[in-house]
Copies of this chain bind each other. A is one copy, B any other.
Amino acid sequence: MIRRIDRIAIEMPPPSDPDPVGAARVQELMGGRFGEMSTFMNYTFQSFNFRNRQGARPFYDLVANIAAEEFGHVELVATAINTMLTGATPVNGGHAPKASLAPLKDVGNPHHFLVGGQGALPQNSLGQPWDGSYVFSSGDLVEDLTHNFFLETGARNGKLKVYEMVEHPAARALTGYLLVRGGVHQVAYARALERLTGADLMKLFPAPRIPTDKIPECRPHIKRGDHLRLYRFSPKDYLELSAVFNGPHPETGEDLVVVDEAPEGAPAYDLPSQPAVFAPDYAPEDIAEIAERLRKKAGLPNEPTGEVANAKRSPAKPRRAAPRKKPAARAKK
């Protein structure tokens, strides 16, 4: 089971100039064969299917715990894509019969606008859906770890390339962070293989080459030591990480560290409505009104209780220029 925390792994930049083409490319890190859905789902299934856990506890703990971190990476990729798509359609008065989406006719992934609500999709950079055949779970521990090491290598390649292709601040913040954390996972799986077989995969590092310390968006994370740390993403479980994850980092020689609790993360921006694609509605203020009424009736505080990065004033209530006729179909409960 999981518990969910309504925070994201790191502070992400607020929406700025939209970049729908960039968002279409960042999808590779979401639904590509080497994207974060793949890392999340691979390690999750491997942990579900892990036999003789007690006998191999340090390895089970390693795989199961990294799986948990990967959920946060999937979430972060989504956050970046959503941020980059924000503002791509007109905020006001964009409804049919206006051609509010016409400027996007030949821009990026058409599903971002025609099928989704300017939101992330489980697709790759070609708009192809992520697929369960990307999951490798042979049950053979050495083989699964070999796979995971290779998967992280491919993932690192993808992150580097997306970094070089997409300059939007959200994409850069994303890839800078993922490169550092993916590097840790690469090391973790290499070390696990070393512990089991003696093979010294550490000599492959970094693969692909390009040390992360050359990349400005990686540096804050390196500075804080995140290139050395494996966090324990559980309040009480996965206590044996340190049996595997220890020794020197292959590139820097510094000691690898298990941190006994998950990172605190940061609140996400509450991204504004995009009414042209009905997200979350044609007239978002109606929903806000209903929500207020329901909250009151349930005895909840007047202000929304959720924590978001963009301060007090929720974007849910844009100033309204003119009085609005209430649609008949809305409930009055």
Alpha-carbon separation in the docked complex, A1 to B75 (Å): 7
Alpha-carbon separation in the docked complex, A16 to B265 (Å): 43
Q: Which residues of B contact A290 (CB under 8 A)?
A: 195-196
Tell me if B291 and A55 are in contact (CB < 8 A).
yes
**What are 30 sample pairs from A and B whose C-beta atoms fall under 8 A apart?**
A1-B263, A3-B234, A5-B235, A41-B122, A48-B79, A52-B280, A53-B304, A55-B317, A57-B291, A57-B304, A57-B306, A58-B295, A96-B214, A101-B164, A102-B166, A111-B125, A115-B138, A130-B131, A130-B132, A139-B280, A140-B281, A141-B280, A143-B208, A196-B330, A197-B204, A199-B331, A203-B331, A237-B306, A239-B300, A243-B294
User: What's the least CB distance linking A102 to chain B, in Å?
Assistant: 6
Tell me if A49 and B116 are in contact (CB < 8 A).
yes
Q: Which of A59, A101, A127, A329 has the most CB of B within 10 A?
A: A329
Tell me if B49 and A329 are in contact (CB < 8 A).
no
Q: Interface size for chain A: under 10, 10 to 19, 20 to 34, or 35 or more residues?
A: 35 or more
Contact partner of A153 among B21, B57, B146, B165, CB < 8 A?
Answer: B146
Tell me if A288 and B55 are in contact (CB < 8 A).
yes
A207 at the interface (CB under 8 A from B): yes
Alpha-carbon separation in the docked complex, A68 to B71 (Å): 11
A323 at the interface (CB under 8 A from B): no
A82 at the interface (CB under 8 A from B): yes
A39 at the interface (CB under 8 A from B): no
Contact partner of A333 among B3, B195, B277, CB < 8 A?
Answer: B195
Tell me if B75 and A243 are in contact (CB < 8 A).
no
Contact partner of A4 among B52, B59, B234, B332, CB < 8 A?
Answer: B234
